[in-house]
């Protein structure tokens, strides 16, 4: 069975500082990894995905994520946080041969960027 762990329920960072939101996964075969962001009372917005290729994936709003196969991690990063980045972030995984209905989401990490 596949799974996703987001070990931090809450991450606080000062505006202008770099941010990292952690994600580790478990899946059979090669992974298909995603990050989504959710603002209050809104749907999830797609940020970025990793299929194959470069381990550093660039996405929307200046976010990037680093795939590490040996550590089975896919941490979300941004060099300089903005107050407007404050939101709930979800990591998700499925097997490369699976389908979207098999996507497993983490429990979410609430990011708060302090002015």
Partner 1 sequence: SQTIHQWPATLVQPVGSPLSLECTVEGTSNPNLYWYRQAAGRGLQLLFYSVGIGQISSEVPQNLSASRPQDRQFILSSKKLLLSDSGFYLCAWSGETGELFFGEGSRLTVL
Residues in touch with partner 1 (CB under 8 A): 32, 34, 36, 41-46, 49, 88, 90, 94, 99-101, 103, 105, 107-108
* Smallest separation, CB 9 to partner 1 (Å): 9
Nearest distance, CB of residue 94 and partner 1, angstroms: 8
Of residues 19 and 91, the one with the C-beta less far from partner 1: 91
In the chain, what is the straight-line distance between the N-terminal and C-terminal CA atoms, in Å? 41
The least CB distance from residue 101 to partner 1, in Å, is 5
């Amino acid at each position: 069975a596949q799974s996703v762990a987001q070990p931090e329920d809450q991450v606080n960072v000062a505006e202008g500082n770099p941010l990292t939101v952690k994600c580790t996964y478990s899946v059979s075969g090669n992974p298909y990894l995603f990050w989504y962001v959710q603002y209050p009372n809104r749907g999830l917005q797609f940020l970025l995905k990793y299929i194959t290729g470069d381990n550093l994936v660039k996405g929307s709003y200046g976010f990037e994520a680093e795939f590490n196969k040996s550590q089975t991690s896919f941490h979300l990063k941004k060099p300089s946080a903005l107050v407007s980045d404050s939101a709930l972030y979800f990591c998700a995984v499925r097997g490369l041969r699976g389908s979207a209905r098999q996507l497993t989401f983490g429990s979410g990490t609430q990011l708060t960027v302090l002015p």
